[in-house]
Amino acid sequence: MRYISNTPAQQKEMLGRIGAASIEALLANVPAKARLSRPLGLPAAMAEADLVRHLRALAAKDASADDYSCFLGAGSYDHLVPSPINHLISRGEFFTAYTPYQPEASQGTLRTIFEYQTMMAELTGMDVANASIYDGASSLAEAVLMAHAVTGRNETAFSRGINPLYGQVVETYCEGPDLRLKRVALADGVTDLDALRRAVTDRTAAVVVQYPNFFGCLEDLREAGEIAHAKGALLVVAADPVNLGFLTPPGALGADIVVGEGQGLGVPMSYGGPNLGVFACRAELVRRMPGRLVGATVDRDGHRGFVLTLQTREQHIRREKATSNICTNVALCALMATIYVSIMGKQGLRRVGELATAKAHYAAARLAEVPGVQLRHRAPFFKEFALELPKAPERVVKRLLRDRILAGVPLKAFDRGAKNALLVAVTERRTKDEIDAYAAALAAAVA
Amino acid sequence: MEAKPSYDKLIFELSAPGRFAHSLPDLDVPSADPATLVPAQFVRATPPALPEVSEVDVVRHYSRLSLMNYGVDTHFYPLGSCTMKYNPKINEDMARLPGFARLHPLAPAAASQGALQLMWELARDLAEISGMDHVSLQPAAGAQGEFAGVLMIRAWHLSRGERRHKVLIPDSAHGTNPATTAQAGYQVVQLKSDEAGEVDLADLERHLDEDVAAFMITQPNTLGLFESRIHQITEMCHAKGVQVYMDGANFNAILGITRPGDLGFDVCHFNLHKTFTTPHGGGGPGSGPVGIKAHLAPFLPTPVVVKDGDTGYSLDWNRAQSIGKLQAFWGNFGMLVRAYTYIRTMGPDGLRSVSENAVLNANYILKRLEGDYDRATAGPCMHECVVSARRQKKLGVSATDIAKRLLDLGFYAPTTYFPLIVEEALMIEPTETESKETLDQFCDAMIQIAREAETNPHLLHEAPVTTSVRRLDQTLAARQPVLRWNAGA
């Protein structure tokens, strides 16, 4: 049998040593009544060549960003994944290791996480970042729980500019502790600061905004932070770190906790997962932080080494009193991001932002020239923007698929009022030719 | 003895101003200075302190760091409860097919039929393997699968107009069980294990009442024992309206042998990174699908992958009683492709053989070690065994010392000090992918260590000496946390 190493002769020899007549005899504790008396109803084993053919056929039904011009965003982006990433993460020493419970035999993983924590702290402008959490949405949910734990307050002022898929995850996490999310309306694409001011009270644990927000618009974090801090609440910001080589980091604008989806940092889109949940905060809050943390220390000979630390926050020690139930991080995705940031470096990450925003502004201008098409908001945007189309976007999206263009995300699913709105993302990977082809196809589709 | 690697750099320490590794295109659209496209206050004033390195720097640095790790590809990794089996390479090739790896999660359903079909089939297969009626693939890891399961139980009670407050958990449970339960808003009540290491039925009976929402157990349990009175347990619980949750961490013991659904469980989660060969990656990403019985179906996380004869596969969002979402998209899809590939590779007979050989290997180790270490339980074990180093402890040698010495002898260590109810616990899970030869080498090393504890404990206290660093000062790390690199520090 594939992937099983013992030969029948060895199995027999081992049973002899154990003193059992058969493997069945070893299963004596499984009562007869509990036994499955038939084979599992699964397809028969496939040989490798047949299996590859089958999976290739499945994959061929999907619109890969290799074959289509991808203008989809809303939390997952088609940024460049430089070649060395896949080669390096595929090294079995990284790929097939587990949580560094034995740090002496896990320094490779621990060092990369320490580097990752440093990079995320730098990008977000915060003091400290953890070893990562599942994804941007669950990171945001953990941040809301943490703000509740830090302040002892039960309400959160939650901007409608936050990715609605994140909002749904945060609601799930707020169910148990019975926390209340107060939605704060937008004004022309960004959080309405007057509405925010009215929503924040001395019961507010946190003000939560996204930067740039779901519609691509740039929020005034400094003002949001002042509103939060005036009432003793924390400012929690969701931000995509791939943008933060170019954009002013939230840490410089008053954020107390910064979370985000790090998929853009060299992690494949992979139909939405696995992703990379970034989580960073101010140093004073570190002992309330969820998730793993790697710290520097020394070994017996005085040499530098790295360990998992501050573990008394975590479930395997604290059990029901832990700061979170999270056990694993997403170490492999954090490694991808670490290698990505190393390759892009200080200059490259800024360049990614410059290219994306220049191309996004060009695309917005070209698409808004199409008769009947308008930009939905006037607020400054970065690499993503919403269009108002003259007809239902689902039909436009379907039509443009024929031209091998993934035109954008219709917003009706998230906001019934936005029945003709389409969210368009432009990364550094999109070319002028692709954008021009999109504009031409859109003109034909709405004509 | 391996040579001690002599590398002690962080990527930041290789940095030289002006050096770079990236390859980005020139701007091909007509544009003003990009810095003027957004208002000045949004443009970063000072660049982040990121490394400036070449591609060869990057490749050599991370290759060297990798050499400081033990992994399944290089070492036997008997880490109990973690199922560190071989991760097939074909899984990796399939997960990297562009139609999977380069597919955006919000591509229209018509343009993602392959991915949706794979998810639908995998959920169906996991339901068959577990005897459950439905499976959600969305949870990102085991702990999130638990969270989803407990929230569904909570929603079910509430839908019946019942607000219960407690969840019962045995003292042998993984830490995630109580942490998850607390996060879902429940009070945790810990139950004793009996002398044989199974659920103490009398203690269970005492605690079962109308305020208990669920009983959460691991099957086989963390001592490596199958809870033999499981039918009685689930019946006792159901009689009081209590839902029974199975932590599926140890599913590798029971594939094709028994099914949680047939045992009376209402919910169970899977750890695809344990049982179904998706890589552990140095600590995730995992994948923690959750299976449920039909009465919990209204509460499944949204969206649900559905099959419609006319339109093919799609995501169903229209589920009024759903517990909601757990992560932004549909699950750790890349891991789902790997698990699907594995299940198709093995087929029904192969999966049963997996568990049979996992059980055989664990019992073989237990037999070989029982003369030199104290067994935690009597009788045969399932896929893992727990021994105690209490005998060695009397000689001044701890489970930690044994673990560290194993690193020097070329093995990763078992899980230590878990389950909490066993003194100086060493929890050993060999998995089915290891051969008798490897198990013998490991057992020889363990027996050698037991001798060394008697004759030369100093050697064990000094271990490890062959790894890239020696024992690390955990107290210093926690007292004076250094959680990031700083220039000149």
The full DSSP string for A206-218 is EEEEESS-TTSBP
Tell me: pLDDT of B318 over 60. yes
Residues B295 and B179 placed together within one structural domain of the fold: yes
Q: Searching chain A, which residue's CA lies closest to the CA of residue B343?
A: A45
DSSP state of B411: B
Asked whether residue B85 is domain-assigned, the answer is no
Cis geometry, peptide bond prior to residue B88 (ω within 30 degrees of 0): no
Tell me: pLDDT of A326 over 90. no
Asked whether residue A216 is domain-assigned, the answer is yes
Structure tokens at B150: 């407990």
Q: Which residues of B touch A181 (CB under 8 A)?
A: none
Give φ, ψ of A88 to 5 degrees: -75, -40
DSSP state of B472: B
CATH, residue A389: 3.90.1150.10
Residue B489 is predicted with a pLDDT of 57
Confidence of residue A279 (pLDDT cuts 50, 70, 90): very high
Structure tokens at B72: 């399944």
pTM check: above 0.90: yes
Q: What is the mean pLDDT of residues B150-171?
A: 97
Residues B386 and B443 placed together within one structural domain of the fold: yes
DSSP of A221-265, one letter per residue?
Answer: HHHHHHHHHHTTPEEEEE--GGGTTTBPPGGGGT-SEEEEE-TTT
Confidence of residue A321 (pLDDT cuts 50, 70, 90): confident
Match 């002013």 to its residue by tokens. Answer: A248
> Per-residue b/e over B320-340, b at no fewer than 16 CB within 10 Å?
eebbbbbbbbbbbbbbbbbbb
Asked whether residue B272 is domain-assigned, the answer is yes
Tell me: pLDDT of A327 over 90. no
Beta strands A204-210 and A155-159, pairing class? parallel
Residues B152 and B294 placed together within one structural domain of the fold: yes
Residues A189 and A111 placed together within one structural domain of the fold: yes
Asked whether residue B75 is domain-assigned, the answer is no
Tell me: pLDDT of B20 over 90. yes
Residue A62 is predicted with a pLDDT of 98
Asked whether residue A201 is domain-assigned, the answer is yes
Asked whether residue A39 is domain-assigned, the answer is no
Structure tokens at B286: 């995992």
Asked whether residue A1 is domain-assigned, the answer is no
Give the closest of B105, B112, B341 to A51, CB-based: B341
Tell me the sheet residues that pair with A209: A237
Asked whether residue A3 is domain-assigned, the answer is no
**pLDDT tens figures, A92-138:** 999 999 989 999 999 999 999 999 999 999 999 999 999 999 999 99
Asked whether residue A153 is domain-assigned, the answer is yes
- On whether the CB atoms of residues A278 and A120 are closer than 8 A, the answer is yes
**pLDDT tens figures, B417-458:** 999 999 999 999 999 999 999 999 999 999 999 999 999 999
Residues B34 and B105 placed together within one structural domain of the fold: no
Q: Do A102 and B328 touch (CB under 8 A)?
A: no
Residues B360 and B226 placed together within one structural domain of the fold: no
Asked whether residue B399 is domain-assigned, the answer is yes
Note whether A395 contacts B: Cβ–Cβ < 8 A: no
Residue B3 is predicted with a pLDDT of 45
Give the closest of A23, A303, A307 to B474, CB-based: A307
Give φ, ψ of A296 to 5 degrees: -85, 150
Residues A328 and A351 placed together within one structural domain of the fold: no
Give φ, ψ of B201 to 5 degrees: -65, -35
Beta strands A180-184 and A186-187, pairing class? unpaired
Q: Which helix (H) or strand (E) holds B250?
A: none
Q: Searching chain B, which residue's CA lies closest to the CA of residue A29?
A: B228
Residues B166 and B30 placed together within one structural domain of the fold: no
Burial of B56 (0-12, 13-18, 19+ CB in 10 A): exposed
Confidence of residue B2 (pLDDT cuts 50, 70, 90): very low
Residues A354 and A233 placed together within one structural domain of the fold: no
Give φ, ψ of A381 to 5 degrees: -125, 175
A49/B230 Cα distance (integer angstroms)? 42
Percent of chain A with pLDDT over 70: 100
Asked whether residue B337 is domain-assigned, the answer is yes
Q: Domain count for chain A, please give it.
A: 2
Give φ, ψ of A4 to 5 degrees: -120, 125
**Helix, strand, coil fractions of chain B, as percent rounded to 5:** 40, 15, 45
Residues A118 and A164 placed together within one structural domain of the fold: yes
**pLDDT tens figures, B343-361:** 999 999 999 999 999 999 9
Q: What is the mean pLDDT of residues B166-194?
A: 95
Q: What is the complex's ipTM, to 2 decimals?
A: 0.98
Q: Do B27 and A354 touch (CB under 8 A)?
A: yes
Asked whether residue A263 is domain-assigned, the answer is yes
- On whether the CB atoms of residues B298 and B319 are closer than 8 A, the answer is yes
Note whether A187 contacts B: Cβ–Cβ < 8 A: no
Note whether A117 contacts B: Cβ–Cβ < 8 A: yes
Residues A132 and A276 placed together within one structural domain of the fold: yes
Confidence of residue A190 (pLDDT cuts 50, 70, 90): very high
Residues A193 and A101 placed together within one structural domain of the fold: yes
Domain assignment of residue B442, given as a range: 356-475
Structure tokens at A366: 């070209």
Burial of B385 (0-12, 13-18, 19+ CB in 10 A): buried
Residues B108 and B46 placed together within one structural domain of the fold: no
Burial of B174 (0-12, 13-18, 19+ CB in 10 A): buried
Tell me: pLDDT of B5 over 80. no
Q: Do A14 and B72 touch (CB under 8 A)?
A: no
CATH, residue B469: 3.90.1150.10
Q: Do B283 and A292 touch (CB under 8 A)?
A: yes
Residue B1 is predicted with a pLDDT of 41
Q: Do A45 and B345 touch (CB under 8 A)?
A: yes
Residue B32 is predicted with a pLDDT of 78
Residues A177 and A218 placed together within one structural domain of the fold: yes
Which candidate, A272, A269, A253, A265, places its Cα nearest to that of A352? A265
Asked whether residue B484 is domain-assigned, the answer is no
The end-to-end CA distance of chain B, in Å, is 33
Q: What is the mean pLDDT of residues A339-360?
A: 97
Which candidate, A431, A368, A353, places its Cα nearest to that of B38? A353
Query: Where is the domain boundary, A284, A305, A339?
Result: A339
Residue B127 is predicted with a pLDDT of 98
Match 């890239």 to its residue by tokens. Answer: B468
Q: To probe the interface with B, which of A328, A339, A378 has the most B CB atoms within 10 Å?
A: A328
Q: What is the mean pLDDT of residues A217-239?
A: 98
Which candidate, B293, B314, B317, places its Cα nearest to that of B303? B317
3-state secondary structure B190-237: EECECCCCCECHHHHHHHCCCCEEEEEEECCCCCCCCCCCHHHHHHHH
> Per-residue b/e over A253-271, b at no fewer than 16 CB within 10 Å?
bbbbbbbbbbbbbbbbbbb
pLDDT-wise least confident of A252-256, A326-330, B161-165, B462-466: A326-330
Query: Where is the domain boundary, A339, A373, A400?
Result: A339
Q: How far is CA A313 from CA A285, A287, B37, B51, B222, in A?
A: 12, 7, 43, 31, 23
Residue A314 is predicted with a pLDDT of 85
Q: Which helix (H) or strand (E) holds A177?
A: none
Tell me: pLDDT of B68 over 90. yes
Domain assignment of residue A281, given as a range: 84-339
Give φ, ψ of A427 to 5 degrees: -100, 180
Residues A290 and A389 placed together within one structural domain of the fold: no
Note whether A37 contacts B: Cβ–Cβ < 8 A: no
Confidence of residue B33 (pLDDT cuts 50, 70, 90): confident
Q: What is the mean pLDDT of residues A80-88?
A: 98
Residues B248 and B141 placed together within one structural domain of the fold: yes
CATH, residue A328: 3.40.640.10
Query: Where is the domain boundary, B316, B344, B372?
Result: B344
The distance of A231 to chain B (nearest Cα, Å) reads: 25
Residue A318 is predicted with a pLDDT of 85
Query: Where is the domain boundary, B318, B344, B370?
Result: B344
Asked whether residue A328 is domain-assigned, the answer is yes
Asked whether residue B50 is domain-assigned, the answer is yes
Percent of chain B with pLDDT over 90: 96
Residues A164 and A277 placed together within one structural domain of the fold: yes
Residues A383 and A274 placed together within one structural domain of the fold: no
Beta strands A257-261 and A277-281, pairing class? antiparallel
Residues A140 and A285 placed together within one structural domain of the fold: yes
Residues B416 and B284 placed together within one structural domain of the fold: no
DSSP state of A382: S
Average pLDDT score over chain B? 96
Residues B197 and B286 placed together within one structural domain of the fold: yes
Q: What is the mean pLDDT of residues A381-407?
A: 97
Structure tokens at A3: 């992937």
Q: Which residues of A touch B73 (CB under 8 A)?
A: 92-93, 95-96
Give φ, ψ of B417 to 5 degrees: 60, 25
Asked whether residue B487 is domain-assigned, the answer is no
Tell me: pLDDT of A417 over 90. no
Q: Searching chain A, which residue's CA lies closest to the CA of residue B437?
A: A6
Query: Where is the domain boundary, A339, A356, A386?
Result: A339
Structure tokens at A69: 């011009």
Residues B394 and B444 placed together within one structural domain of the fold: yes
Tell me: pLDDT of B4 over 60. no
CATH, residue B135: 3.40.640.10
Q: Domain count for chain B, please give it.
A: 3
Residues A278 and A375 placed together within one structural domain of the fold: no
Q: Which residues of B touch A312 (CB under 8 A)?
A: 478
B259/A38 Cα distance (integer angstroms)? 11
Residues B137 and B233 placed together within one structural domain of the fold: yes
Q: Do B228 and A6 touch (CB under 8 A)?
A: no
A229/A231 Cα distance (integer angstroms)? 5
Which candidate, A323, A345, A35, A40, places its Cα nearest to that of B23? A345
Match 């309400």 to its residue by tokens. Answer: A155
Give φ, ψ of A237 to 5 degrees: -120, 130
Q: Searching chain A, which residue's CA lies closest to the CA of residue B299?
A: A172
Q: Which residues of B touch A101 (CB under 8 A)?
A: 79, 413, 415-416
Sheet strand arrangement including A409-410: A374-375, A384-388, A421-425, A409-410
* Packing angle of the helix pair A107-124, A331-368 (nearest 10 deg): 30
- On whether the CB atoms of residues B68 and A371 are closer than 8 A, the answer is no
